């Protein structure tokens, strides 16, 4: 792991993460333990469980989880495994359930995870057994919390409260109408990258590539008007001149937009008239699923009068996100070259990307550089 030490150097002399961090299965396994296994990360969007009784299985970096919308409308998260013989309980999303039933021996749990039925456990027709306590065999819970429509999990159970972890970003974004955003009535934007998840993060963090990869976006929000953003658990870039199209209601007329990666796997975009979040799902060292959702102000999120504007907004961001796919995949291809030594950074343009590299290297146990 000593090849990580150079990442922690000052940006002028630092290298990026070595190629093996993008190509080797063992590196992804290490990230499961030391990055995704030790703090909050986004596992789903709550609007996918819209009604009580909705169930949704989630593969969270190799850990099988189950999200449940309870009868009271709360979302609970459990390990997706029966406490009897370890069967995966739910394979596909389900709607309108009042319980979770194991397909193997029909052990049944309520939506709060309590074990309610154990058919024939004591013999045919005997549904109780001496010494067996249902209260000890409920589904194993996973710490989960929500922000806006995003569901976060903490597999360690030891991270700070979600609101405390988010506090620095929310303080920064106090000028954006976060409390007024509502999930927009649009289809998700879903993409698959034949590239490592970290490349999607570091590409998103910087605006340096705008003139060449996003010429239309650069016209609306020119590179010269961008500025870097670096926090303890996020980094990215903002624009003093995001020329909104004016089709959706906005909270004021400031032409401000900020785009940050909330480590490890959320790409967020805040504007005065809309908000988006893209969740990254690492599937393999060289394969990442992207799932993006839009929010608008409450008056426009679902109103029929704004349906066309919402659709055009979605189409615009789908085009922008799609423009990144080719170059990110080419970075992945380059990571396999023996000539790649981690690369270097522009001290002026790449600060937010270097901040992400430092954050990841630190969590992977990088020693201080000599």
**DSSP 3-state of 251:** coil
Tell me what pLDDT residue 243 has.
Answer: 67
Into which CATH architecture does domain 173-340 fall?
Alpha-Beta Complex (3.90)
Q: Where in the chain do CATH 2.102.10.10 domains reside?
A: 41-145
Tell me what pLDDT residue 245 has.
Answer: 64
Tens digits of residue pLDDT in 259-286: 999 999 999 999 999 999 999 999 999 9
Banded model confidence at residue 297, pLDDT cuts 50, 70, 90: very high
Element (H, E) at 328: helix 307-335
Tens digits of residue pLDDT in 203-259: 999 999 999 999 988 888 889 999 999 999 999 999 998 866 679 999 988 889 999
Tell me how far apart the alpha carbons of residues 220 and 288 are, in angstroms, rounded to a whole number: 28
What number of residues does the chain have? 370
**Bridge partner residues of 81 (DSSP):** 88
Q: Where in the chain do CATH 3.90.380.10 domains reside?
A: 173-340
Residue 316 has pLDDT above 90, yes or no: yes
Tens digits of residue pLDDT in 46-88: 999 999 999 999 999 999 999 999 999 999 999 999 999 999 9
Tell me what pLDDT residue 244 has.
Answer: 62
- State the chain's mean pLDDT as an integer: 95
Tell me how crowded residue 187 is: count the other CB atoms within 10 A of its CB. 11
Tell me how far apart the alpha carbons of residues 63 and 368 are, in angstroms, rounded to a whole number: 31
Classify residue 209 by its DSSP letter.
Answer: T
Tell me what pLDDT residue 219 has.
Answer: 86
Tokens of 173: 């974004």
Residue 14 has pLDDT above 80, yes or no: yes
* Prediction pTM value: 0.95
Phi, psi of 69 (to 5 degrees): -95, 115
363, 34 contact by CB (below 8 A): yes
Secondary-structure breakdown of the chain: helix, strand, coil percentages, each rounded to the nearest 5? 30, 25, 45
Classify residue 140 by its DSSP letter.
Answer: P
Q: Tokens 């609101």 label which residue?
A: 163
Banded model confidence at residue 2, pLDDT cuts 50, 70, 90: low
Tell me what pLDDT residue 339 has.
Answer: 96
Residues 6 or more apart in contact with residue 30 via CB below 8 angstroms:
364
Tokens of 2: 């000593």
Q: What is the dihedral of CA 204, 210, 216, 222, to 10 degrees?
A: 110
Q: Which CATH superfamily is domain 41-145 in?
A: Rieske [2Fe-2S] iron-sulphur domain (2.102.10.10)
Tell me how far apart the alpha carbons of residues 346 and 358 are, in angstroms, rounded to a whole number: 15
Residue 1 has pLDDT above 80, yes or no: no
Peptide bond just before 264 cis, omega within 30 deg: yes
Sign of the CA dihedral running 137, 142, 143, 147: negative
Tokens of 311: 């659709």
Tokens of 111: 């939506």
């Amino acid at each position: 792991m000593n090849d990580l030490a150079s990442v922690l150097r000052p940006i002028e002399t630092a290298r990026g993460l070595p190629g093996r961090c993008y190509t080797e299965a063992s590196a992804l396994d290490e990230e499961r333990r030391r990055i995704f296994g030790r703090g909050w990360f986004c596992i789903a969007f709550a609007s996918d469980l819209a009604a009580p009784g909705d169930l949704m299985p989630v593969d969270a970096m190799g850990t099988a989880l189950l999200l449940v919308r309870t009868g009271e409308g709360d979302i609970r998260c459990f390990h997706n495994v029966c406490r009897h013989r370890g069967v995966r309980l739910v394979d596909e999303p389900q709607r309108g359930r009042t319980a979770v039933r194991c397909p193997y021996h029909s052990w049944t749990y309520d939506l709060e995870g309590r074990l309610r039925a154990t058919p024939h456990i004591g013999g045919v027709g005997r549904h109780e057994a001496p010494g067996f306590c249902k209260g000890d065999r409920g589904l194993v819970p996973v710490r989960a919390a929500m922000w806006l429509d995003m569901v976060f999990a903490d597999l360690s159970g030891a991270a700070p409260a979600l609101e405390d972890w988010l506090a620095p970003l929310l303080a920064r974004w106090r000028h954006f109408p976060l409390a007024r955003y509502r999930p927009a009535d649009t289809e998700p934007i879903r993409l698959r990258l034949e590239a490592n998840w970290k490349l999607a993060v570091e590409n998103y963090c910087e605006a340096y590539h705008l003139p060449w990869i996003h010429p239309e976006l650069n016209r609306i929000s020119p590179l010269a008007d961008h500025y870097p953003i670096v926090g303890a658990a996020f980094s990215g870039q903002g624009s003093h001149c995001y020329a909104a199209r004016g089709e959706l209601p906005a909270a004021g007329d400031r032409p401000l937009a900020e785009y940050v990666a909330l480590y490890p796997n959320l790409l967020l975009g805040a504007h005065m008239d809309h908000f988006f979040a893209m969740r990254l799902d690492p599937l393999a060292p060289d394969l990442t699923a992207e799932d993006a959702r839009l929010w608008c102000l409450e008056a426009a999120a679902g109103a029929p009068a704004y349906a066309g504007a919402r659709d055009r907004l979605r189409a615009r961001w789908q085009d922008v996100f799609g423009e990144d796919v080719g170059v990110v995949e080419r970075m992945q291809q380059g990571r396999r070259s023996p000539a790649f030594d981690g690369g270097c950074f522009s001290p002026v343009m790449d600060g937010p990307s270097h901040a992400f590299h430092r954050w990841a290297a630190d969590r992977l146990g990088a020693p201080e550089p000599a």
